[in-house]
A and B are shown apart, each in its own frame.
Chain A
Amino acid sequence: MDSITTSTLCIGGIGLVSAAALAIADKFLTVPEDPRLAKVLELLPGANCGGCGFAGCADYAKAMVLKGVETNLCAPAGSASAKAIAVLLGLDAGRNPERRVALVLCCGDFTEAVRRSKYNGIAECAAAQAVAGGDKGCTYGCLGYASCVRVCPVQAIRLEKGIAQVNKHRCISCGKCVATCPRKLIKLVPYKAEIHVLCSNPEKGPVVKKVCGTGCIGCKMCAKLAPEAITMDGFLAKVDYTKELKNPELIVKCPGKCIRSA
């Protein structure tokens, strides 16, 4: 036999034996996997933000396929994907919630809000809060140490003049910033809402005035101008987002300058 034949036989033989071994292993040992899992995973955004309450997209996909968890928990994926997944799995898509985005309810930037002391510690909101309640005069306002900026998985938050601001077009409403803020200043509001009261200080007017130039002083002007959508919670105006509110006059008239569009 010449060497070409022997080589061909040899390699061919090895190939055949290996192939046979693999085929047998595949037949008897493979773990069956739900083919729908991969398809569902494809429909999810893969950001692994955890906003759905599961540990990442793969975990949520598994929960949907195996346990029939609702398909509308993923805010970043949106309603179209929720429906597609529901169709794929034969589940009920549920009523799709309105798109919500994070909003920082404070506008006391460093030109307006007073700092009551010098803080020389870790640049982290919760850490600053733990030292005598933070260095900001207003004990309800944004501390500006950017903890929310760091947890945002899509870089939708940035600091502007010492106040965190959310770019609502980028926000995927995962809720991480809401959980991180030690002062509970960040709320999820409807994407469509245009007018907000950007203050969280519930104190009386004079107390607020002392610490911030742009705080809600509880004058009730807005509640009179738009009684259907703005309610007073003590000395703090609040927008009822279930109602329609399109009154640009409010923004001009607010003496605290804290009603703004966002």
Chain B
Amino acid sequence: MNTEKSNFTFKGGIHPEYFKALTSEVALRKIEPPQYLFVPMQQHLGAPAKILVKPGDEVKRNQRIGEQNGHVSSAVHAPLSGKVSALTTVPTANGRLAPAVIIELNGNEESEKYEPFKEWQSASEKEMLARIAEAGVVGMGGAGFPTQVKLSPPAGKKIDTLIINGAECEPYLTADHRMMVEHAAEIHIGIEILRNVLGARNVRLAIEDNKPDAIQAMEKALQKMTGDVAVSVLKTSYPQGAEKQQIFSVTGREVPCGGLPMDVGCVVENVSTAYAVYDAIINGQPLTHRAVTVTGDAVENPSNLWVPTGTHYHHLIAACGGTLGQATKIIAGGPMMGFAVTGLDIPTTKTSSGLLCLSSHRVPQFASHACISCGRCVEACPMRLIPSELSQFIEAEDIESAERIALLDCVECGSCAYVCPAHRPLVQHFRRGKGVVLVKRAMVGGKK
């Protein structure tokens, strides 16, 4: 194991103010559980889980309450013991509705658990993949792609490099940072397991150079790993944590247009996912809790919390001493890619990495203007697209032309909108355009 300074970084990107000092030194803290948990059945990408309980049922901690429903889907477990008081639908951070189970907690410590693997080194890949699926592990970086699917690439795609993503390039967020500082040993075992399951030769742990303590902690933890293992120190730049940009920064390989990381022999997993994999295999513990950064200038005590999924956002803010004055804008996730929310009765999910409360002077009000063709967005785009052109095509409802210049390759990182001097809502245009394209493709596919 050694440490390498990455020689290259992706093209474009931006350098926003990071505000990480608010919480980077604050240790993870368990919160007092709320009275009710609203556990959504859709905490991942793909089909919602099938509900296994009915109102009135007693559920134990870690009991499976939602069953994997289809190939790309994931199981959901009760984070704490209690009684199912109702089945309902809840709003999620992105504004959609998801089926959910409401659990009235009773403080019971009784727990169900999966049998831990005593000798995981001798277990077969299949057994471990099955356990990861049972434990409901999903990508915790934000998209929530079911991990077992990501770890079983189709035959013919050889994976030689496993990249563990500890970049955490979003401003404000420090949840992954704290995980690396406090749980380095567990993450190390998680990485070993992931490497074995994938059969990958190389392992790279990517961390931005603005987190020296995390780099140090992980260097120490990975000291004993054999083979081609390295902590890869990346330049601090947004979006360094985006999958395709990170693969380029770490390996110099470029994912082709419309392709996936496995097309260049890479799999990228978040550090928190590595921790969840460790927990599932070594402790038999399903994924029910996660680290959430509650921060922003409108929060009394910005903190990193260890939160059971299904906890409402207002409970998290209360656990941090409430808001200072009025929070003008509340964002689920980071400021660049997160979703502004309209209420706090939204439950935490497996992919909620942060909750950001901003006061009015951090939320500028502006009107957007016509594109002046200055080209700053083109410089900033890490995917080498032409955001100005794309947005004008979409505005003129010429979605086909936008598709032709690779609209679908947009990763919605928001760099273009950040630098735009005309304050154009570029990412929103792209999201809408992509929606139109995907609906059209689904219709064409349906007809065939």
Chain A interface residues (CB < 8 Å from chain B): 116-117, 120-122, 124, 126-127, 129-135, 139
Contacts and interface: CB of A to CB of B under 8 A. Distances in A.
Given A120-B365, A131-B428, A132-B95, A126 B342 contact: no
Nearest to B366: A120
Contacts of B340: 117, 131-132
Given A126-B435, A127-B432, A129-B95, A135 B342 contact: yes
Contacts of A127: 428-429, 431-432
Contact of B342 (A116, A124, A130): A116
A241 to B, nearest CB: 28
Contact of A117 (B93, B342, B435): B342
A114 B366 CA distance: 23
B158 to A, nearest CB: 38
Q: Interface range on chain B: under 10, 10 to 19, 20 to 34, or 35 or more?
A: 10 to 19
Contacts of B365: 120
A133 B91 CA distance: 9
A176 to B, nearest CB: 12
B339 interface: yes
Describe A's contact surface by its main secondary structure.
loop
B96 interface: yes
Given A120-B365, A126-B435, A132 B428 contact: no
Contacts of B258: none
Contacts of A121: 425, 428
A35 B431 CA distance: 47
B445 interface: no
A129 B435 CA distance: 12
B343 interface: yes
B363 to A, nearest CB: 10
B343 A122 contact: no
Most A CB contacts (10 A, CB to CB) among B96, B343, B432 go to: B432
Interface in B392-448: 425, 428-429, 431-432, 435
Given A116-B343, A122-B429, 8 more contacts: A120-B366, A121-B425, A122-B432, A126-B432, A126-B435, A130-B94, A131-B339, A135-B342
A130 B91 contact: no
Contacts, number: 45
B341 A122 contact: no
A122 B428 CA distance: 7
A124 B432 contact: yes
Contacts of A139: 91, 97
A243 B14 CA distance: 62
Contact of A132 (B94, B366, B431): B94
B367 to A, nearest CB: 8
A250 to B, nearest CB: 31
Contacts of A122: 425, 428-429, 432
13 contacts: A117-B342, A120-B366, A122-B425, A124-B432, A127-B428, A127-B431, A130-B428, A130-B431, A131-B340, A131-B428, A133-B91, A133-B95, A134-B95
A127 B426 CA distance: 11
Interface string B315-345: 0000000000000000000000001111100
Contacts of A135: 342
A251 to B, nearest CB: 32
A130 B435 CA distance: 10
Contacts of B425: 121-122
A199 B93 CA distance: 26
Contact of A133 (B96, B428, B429, B435): B96
Contacts of A131: 95, 339-340, 428
Interface in B86-118: 91, 93-97
B432 A133 contact: no
A132 B342 contact: yes
Contacts of B91: 133, 139
A130 B95 contact: yes
Contacts of B96: 133
Contacts of B97: 139
Contacts of A126: 432, 435
A117 B91 CA distance: 15
A130 B91 CA distance: 13
